[in-house]
Amino acid sequence: MGVNAIGPIEPGDDTYETRAAGATATDPATAPVRARSPFTRRRRTVLALAAAVIVTAAGLGLYLTRPRPPAPPPPLHPSQTVSVTYRGDMTHPRTGDRTFSFTIALRQDEGPPVSVRRITQPSAALSVTVAPHTPFTVKTGSPRTARITMHIRECGKVQRNAGLPFLVVTLRNVRAMQLQAFILGERYAKDLSRALTAACPPNTDVMSKTP
């Protein structure tokens, strides 16, 4: 009597070898990995650095050759920006009194601050003192006043009727230092003449000098 048995089907002799061969051919996970050459990585690094240098050089060239705005003009000379005017308040000295004073205004219209270094006048018979003491600064939009005191050194050399009496002001800014003569006008000339005549009347000893 024959016996029939049912059990798992056994794989053939070549089954595992066939599957292994198929897996090697079709599965990327089982494909062999090739080692990268260190020379290839170095070449890529060198190329990247060279590209960076080229880009940097091109940017620097554009920066250096870019159009530049024109340089600003130099500031004006101080004599072109400062004006001096006579404000009045002339004192009237008595006979024999050798000192009198008056007020001036200094104004700047534009530009950097100007230093007023000195204020004087051309007559050797007169000397000048200023309050506030020089030097002081005049700025745009901020007028200054100064009190001028004149001292008569010698009556005989005083010109009472000077045609164009003026003050000489030394001005300085970042561009230059200048001596500028400022004519203070007809009102100043009249007040000055009256003050000099009061201090040195024609009938007095015109050759007298201050001690």
Please give the mean pLDDT across all residues of the chain: 78
CB 108 within 8 A of CB 81: yes
> Is the separation of the CB atoms in 186 and 87 below 8 Å?
no
pLDDT tens readout for residues 121-161 = 888 888 999 999 999 999 998 999 999 999 998 888 887 66
Dump pLDDT digits (tens) for 10-56.
Answer: 555 555 454 444 444 455 555 555 555 555 777 777 767 777 767 67
What would the DSSP string read from start to end of 136-177?
A: EEEBBTB-EEEEEEEEESBGGG--TT-SS-EEEEEEE-SS-E
Would you say 114 and 81 are in contact if contact means Cβ atoms under 8 Å apart?
yes
pTM: 0.62
Question: What pLDDT score does 69 carry?
Answer: 79
pLDDT band at 88 (very low <50, low <70, confident <90, very high): very high
- Which pLDDT belongs to residue 178? 93
Query: Looking at residue 44, what is its pLDDT?
Result: 72
- pLDDT number for residue 132: 94
How many Cβ atoms are within 10 Å of 111's Cβ, its own excluded? 18
Does the pLDDT value for residue 209 go beyond 50? Answer: no
Helix (H, G, I), strand (E, B) or coil at 29: helix
Please give the pLDDT value at position 3.
47
Domains (ranges, CATH) in the chain? 78-199 (2.60.40.10)
Task: Please tell me the predicted confidence (pLDDT) of residue 114.
Answer: 95
| pLDDT band with cut points at 50, 70 and 90 for residue 206 | very low
Q: What is the mean pLDDT of residues 95-121?
A: 92
Q: What is the pLDDT of residue 66?
A: 66
According to DSSP, the β-strands at 144-152 and 136-138 are unpaired
- Evaluate if residue 102 carries a pLDDT over 50: yes
Cα pseudo-dihedral 199, 201, 202, 206, rounded to 10? -50
pLDDT band for position 96 (cuts 50, 70, 90): confident
State yes or no: pLDDT of 2 exceeds 80.
Answer: no
**Residue 7: what pLDDT?**
46
